Amino acid sequence: MMENGGYVGQYGDDGGYMEQEEEWEREGLLDPAWEKQQKKTFTAWCNSHLRKAGTSIDNIEDDFRNGLKLMLLLEVISGETLPKPDRGKMRFHKIANVNKALDFIASKGVKLVSIGAEEIVDGNLKMTLGMIWTIILRFAIQDISVEEMTAKEGLLLWCQRKTAPYKNVNVQNFHLSFKDGLAFCALIHRHRPDLIDYSKLSKDNPLENLNTAFDVAEKYLDIPRMLDPDDLINTPKPDERAIMTYVSCYYHAFQGAQQAETAANRICKVLKVNQENERLMEEYERLASDLLEWIRRTMPWLNSRQSDSTLAGVQKKLEEYRTYRRKHKPPRVEQKAKLETNFNTLQTKLRLSNRPAYMPTEGKMVSDITNAWKGLEHAEKSFEEWLLAETMRLERLEHLAQKFKHKADTHEDWTKGKEEMLQSQDFRNCKLNELKALKKKHEAFESDLAAHQDRVEQIAAIAQELNTLEYHDCASVNARCQRICDQWDRLGVLTQRRCQGLDEAERILEKIDLLHLEFAKRAAPFNNWLDGAREDLVDMFIVHTMEEIQGLIQAHDQFKATLGEADKEFNVIIGLVRDAEAIVKQEQVPGGLVNPYTTLSADLISRKWSEVRALVPQRDQTLANELRKQQNNEMLRRQFAEKANAVGPWIERQMDAVTAIGMGISGSLEEQLHRLKEYEQAVYAYKPSIEELEKIHQSVQESMIFENRYTHYTMETLRVGWEQLLTSINRNINEVENQILTRDSKGITQEQLTEFRSSFNHFDKNRTGRLAPEEFKSCLVSLGYSIGKDKQGDMDFQRILAVVDPNSSGYVQFDAFLDFMTRESTDTDTAEQVIDSFRILASDRPYILPDELRRELPPDQAEYCIQRMPPYKGPNAIPGALDYMSFSTALYGESDL
């Protein structure tokens, strides 16, 4: 501040009072009306304070001459006690009293130049006005400070801000801007709209405007009239000291309301941030609970291995699983991505608003959701593998069950009547040739019985395999197998007994028809061969590869190669019958056409041979159809592999590109965000390729194809890769948006951001987008952050780590790192600021009442405070008192409230 031969302009003046006026007078610029205006205004101002002491002045240059009322004025406005005045009436007594007043003014840091006690005692009006102006500046205007401006500039800025919304008001100074009275009316209406109807005022009625403002201020605001409306209107340039003095009374009258308004605005801002954060926390809790509950409900179904043990039942479960993957899971994938995005955004907002990090309810951390999701994916993979394995197992079981039934039916058809035949005693009354015939017949039967031993063993082996594979109807299979085995044992016993009976009778009956016997011997194995061939030709089969069907075709071709020899054997057997018929006809042997050694006949052998020959081309056709099916399966394998070998690398390339952008290696954040959204659009545009692949995959599964040597990609790995790509894009977009939010709110430059990103990436060796604690420490050191290697340095680093990794995940994300690097330079609201705001609303009391909150704050925010503030339990507490200090510290995580 510069001295100018008088009062130093510390409070808004530009120089010494007397020197300034003398300069204006020399230049012919001093308006005599100014002195008149000052005298009136300063007198009214002094009386507004002196009335508190029960006195007043009438003539400002005379009533202060003895110094008594001057000292009294200073005591009233300062609240301090001056030295005891001299009560004598001599001139030196008066000078002593005025000097005591001037010394008190000087003790307040005010330099008085050219103003002496003698001039005041002599009644010098100019000097007296200068002294009063000095007192007004020091005690009424000095403390007015807006945005660290001088008192005069601060008072002017206060007027400009308060009157800015009003029509026809443009406050630029303290003389011409107030002449029409609208500025005074606007100041009153801004703070007390109930006292003046501003809409009815006109710029063309300055006298009415001034009188309205002065009357209302005097009546309702206890501000006496200090200005004369006529003087203001008729003076070309009114005195700014007089107007400043009067306007300062308005400032002080409204100062309490101004502080309350400022305090209320700060509280509302803080509460609004807190309410929005709580809404995001509740939204996170709701989404997390819903997703975890869905996973909890889904897991028992995926972990279940219960089925009705039928192929149709398992195929139905497989279709249900496909529906789950197509319809039910995709919305949950989006929900999980949204959950993670909301959580990151919330943590960013909490950091930016100087709030403690959000800790979700136990069991609902992002890590809990990630672990639950991994468990779900593991269960899905296991469930699908079980379904496919169960399908193969049940398909084989169905095949074995049909094969068991077919062989059992054939065997039981053969055994019909055999027990009755073996138990017959017909040989007891036979002739010799008949007995021999019965014996030969029995020998043939024994041969046939031995030939059937293999079939019985096959039936038992199939039953055993069905038991091993846990066939659902094992009980009936076992019962039938047991009946066949029991019957087989009985047949063996009965056969032995009949053989013994025939041997006993053989001593009498020896003649036998050798020709018929030869037929029986050759026809029996041939007939058995025919039965076996017929069974093989109609045997059901199941294959899954080209190699298996080609093996069956090769075996069938080998069988066909044996048909030539079989045809020769058939002709030999039929030739025996023809020879026998010729001998019987030639020799006229009674009953000679009946073969006593076998029940087989030439017609039966011929019919079976015809059936076998007819079944051969049918088998050819069946194998050809299966070959075409396997060829089609091979085509499906190639189709799937071709598409998968294109989709898989595409997903991997997109993932690499998104990861590279997420590292922030090049370009501004807006450019990174733009490229990420372009990738997001490209990924969604690529979705038809995934859907097409799903259709091919469904055809592959429906065709019972369980392996594909043409690709290492499976549908499951592609699904997971696709979901991970979508999640990665979403997460990177969210991280970039949060970085933009942090950058803009912190006011950091692109160069600073680039430096932080470059340093972060340098230590992020694995390109994971996060730093381990030791990597983070090295990064801080590289940026010039001092961290000692002693115990204190370790403690400092642990405190920093608690800030950037509040959830103790073991890693530092880039947005938390960025927030930490810029935190110290930001201006954020604090608990102390909120406490100070509440203290203003509470009139400096340590507690606040509900009615005060409802009066000063919007309804929703007032109720928010009332519901959460604990009762005040300090000294002098009254009913209903609330503890705003604990509430404020709790907002910033500084208490356990």
Task: Give the count of beta carbons closer than 10 Å to the beta carbon of residue 262.
Answer: 12
The distance between the two most distant Cα atoms of the chain, rounded to a whole number of Å, is 193
Q: How high is the pLDDT of residue 897?
A: 42
Residue 90 buriedness (CB in 10 A; 0-12 / 13-18 / 19+): exposed
pTM of structure = 0.52
Token reading at 171: 């406050």
H/E segment holding residue 812: strand 812-813
Q: How high is the pLDDT of residue 3?
A: 32
Looking from the CA of 350 toward its CB, the CA atoms found within 13 Å total 23
What CA–CA distance (Å, rounded) separates 118 from 128? 11
What CA–CA distance (Å, rounded) separates 699 from 693? 10
Contact 579, 515 (CB under 8 A): yes
Q: Which residues contact 39 (CB under 8 A, 6 or more apart)?
A: 60, 61, 125, 129
3-class DSSP assignment, residue 317: helix
Nearest alpha carbon to residue 716 among 382, 389, 369: 382
Contact 18, 126 (CB under 8 A): yes
> For residue 470, what are the CA distances in angstroms to 155, 317, 318, 463?
96, 19, 20, 11
Rg (CA), the chain: 55
Q: How high is the pLDDT of residue 28?
A: 36
What CA–CA distance (Å, rounded) separates 320 from 192? 71
Domains and their CATH numbers in the chain: 269-396 (1.20.58.60), 432-600 (1.20.58.60), 647-823 (1.20.58.60), 831-892 (1.10.238.10)
Query: Percent helix, strand, coil in the chain (nearest 5)?
Result: 70, 0, 25
Contact 147, 24 (CB under 8 A): no
Q: How high is the pLDDT of residue 882?
A: 93
Q: How high is the pLDDT of residue 556?
A: 81
Nearest alpha carbon to residue 598 among 721, 361, 806, 438: 438
Task: Give the count of beta carbons closer than 10 Å to the beta carbon of residue 607.
Answer: 12
Phi-psi region of 874 (alpha: psi -120 to 50; beta: other; left: phi over 0): beta
> For residue 629, what are the CA distances in angstroms to 303, 622, 636, 803?
34, 11, 11, 65
3-class DSSP assignment, residue 770: strand
Could you list the mean pLDDT of each consecutive 10-residue stretch along the chain, which spans 897 residues?
Answer: 32 42 44 81 92 90 90 89 88 90 87 82 90 87 70 86 89 92 92 89 93 92 90 89 91 77 77 86 90 92 82 84 89 89 87 85 89 92 85 80 87 86 74 72 84 86 85 87 89 84 57 69 87 83 78 84 86 84 64 76 88 87 84 85 90 87 74 86 88 87 81 88 89 84 74 74 77 83 73 79 82 78 62 85 87 84 91 87 90 60
Q: Which residues contact 33 (CB under 8 A, 6 or more apart)?
A: 231, 234, 235, 238, 239
3-class DSSP assignment, residue 771: strand
Q: How high is the pLDDT of residue 865?
A: 92
Q: Sign of the CA dihedral 812, 815, 816, 820?
A: positive
Query: What residue type is assigned to position 173 of the chain?
Result: N
What CA–CA distance (Å, rounded) separates 34 from 18? 14
Q: Residue written as tokens 């997703």? A: 291
Contact 408, 480 (CB under 8 A): yes
